[in-house]
Amino acid sequence: MKKAELIFIPLPETGHLLSTIEFGKRLMNLDPRISMITILSMKLPYAPHADASLASLTASEPGIRLISLPEIQDPPPIKLLDTSSETYILDFVDKNIPFLRKTIRDLVDSNHVVGLILDFFCVGLIDIGREVNLPSYIFMTSNFGFLGFLQYLPERNRLNSLEFNESSSKEELPIPAFVNRVPAKVEPYAAEHFTRGRDYPHVYPVGPVLNLTGRTNPGLASAQYEEMMKWLDGQPDSSVLFLCFGSMGVFSAPQIQQIAHALERVGFRFIWAIRTNMAGDGDPHEPLPEGLVHRTMGRGIVCREYGVPIATWPMYAEQQLNAFEMVKELGLAVEIRLHHVADGDRITLEIVSADEIATAVRSLMDGDNPIRKKVKEISVVARKAVGDGGSSMAATGDFIRDIFLMIS
């Protein structure tokens, strides 16, 4: 039986790394011909502990090999993260190309490599695949809705050359992937970065890609992890509100205080993962109202790291489109906001008030809210999709079949 190895090149951000590892594990579990998954890990300057987390997550997986690339000596200026995180990431990946090219060539010379699996932000590396005669596949850690949006952008550009901005907020976009017409203000900034490509290759709907069996955040201190798990085990079902805004979700101190006031007002149990800066090394308690931790002791946990209903509050990337899809398209979420307005330095121009947050949270936690029933129904469908014979597993099988057809 011919053995094969795949090289994954993920963006070294939590959401991208976790899904990369889980998808790699799924590929090996489904087909014994895939004997090795190699992950090339780039070092993000503002995420110095990513390598250690990745090593911990892959330590128990003998079929996954982690190769850490050298740290680049001229990283993009960290200030660029505030003005355009997408530009920062694309520049960062571009500066890693010399290391990536050498590592890939060395691996291809000595192993049975049959393809490159590239993160969406690493599409520029397709040229390296061509250099070593390897097919490249894009692993998109987003959803069909966002892919449909990307497919629509060239058509909009052909019909309307005007850029997206606040003045176009009343425009509605007939995106093929959505039943409802999407307000332009949902995603006004994305068009600046993703306007290429008209013809798309075959798409494999392999999601959801999740770790359903164990701990996924080795960066969280063991004692804090155990404390949270013990506390959660002691709470009634569906009674805890989890606040988490992603690896790049950073709020200003005034906004954090409004969230805190809302949590006090509604009185629900909660776990709140706070990031006060992009590095994630700030004191999570510093911007909180004085005495909040003491007043919510026993019903709330504030931590630095971090099939239920969601309250949407989009902040970056494609989250605004996701919020529209979850609230308007699928009816699986409660709206806090569907759009997020910030200036060039990603500073929020409008503070969401404690009253607005509290209203959405009360609706979200209402046991009679029909959204809860619908979410439970959809969660069953999602679990079936990743079970034996499920649609996601079938799509993964199709992907594996096509990989081997390419090399036969």
The answer for 197, left when phi > 0, alpha when psi is -120 to 50, beta otherwise, is left
Which residues partner with 311 through β-bridges? 334
Which of 31, 106, 119, 237 is catalytic? The answer is 119
Burial 331-370 (b: 16+ CB within 10 A, else e): ebbbbbbbbbeeeeebebeeebebeebbbbbbebbeeeee
Has 340 been annotated as catalytic?
A: no
Which of 16, 51, 339, 340 is catalytic? The answer is 16
Q: What angle do CA 99, 104, 110 make, to 5 degrees?
A: 130
Under a CB-based contact definition with an 8 Å cutoff, are residues 42 and 17 in contact? no
Under a CB-based contact definition with an 8 Å cutoff, are residues 208 and 18 in contact? no
Has 109 been annotated as catalytic?
A: no
Active-site annotation, residues: 16, 119
